[in-house]
Amino acid sequence: MKFGRVTLAQAQGAILAHAIALPGGKLSKGRVLDADDLAQLAQAGLAEVIVARPGPGDVLEDAAARRLAAALGA
């Protein structure tokens, strides 16, 4: 998985690496950023965010937790 700072123009579809407080609420860590999120970030005066982009073969947290729970019979 690649982590790094990107411009808002490059952030759509990426996973937000840190929660960000906004005037109308917050965007939580782990959120997949969409156009509405990017508009809110721009309105708040942000030009960049730190995101994660999964690579081939990477397993996201929620999927890994489901796999682990299934393996443990939970």
pLDDT digits (tens, 9 = 90+) for 61-74: 888 899 999 999 86
Of 15, 9, 54, whose CA–CA distance to 35 is shortest?
9
The CATH number assigned to the domain holding 65 equals 3.90.105.10
- Structure tokens, 48: 């960049």
pLDDT, averaged across the chain = 93
Question: Domain count of the chain?
Answer: 1
CA dist 40 → 24, 32, 54, 69 (Å):
9, 14, 24, 35
- Note the pTM of the prediction, 2 decimals: 0.82
Cα dist from 48 to 4, 5, 17, 39, 41, whole Å:
10, 6, 12, 12, 9
Instruction: Identify the domain containing residue 15 by its residue range.
Output: 2-72
Give the whole-number percent of the chain exceeding pLDDT 90. 80
Q: What is the mean pLDDT of residues 10-15?
A: 96
- Give me the pLDDT at residue 41, please: 97
Lowest-confidence region among 10-14, 20-24, 47-51, 58-62: 58-62
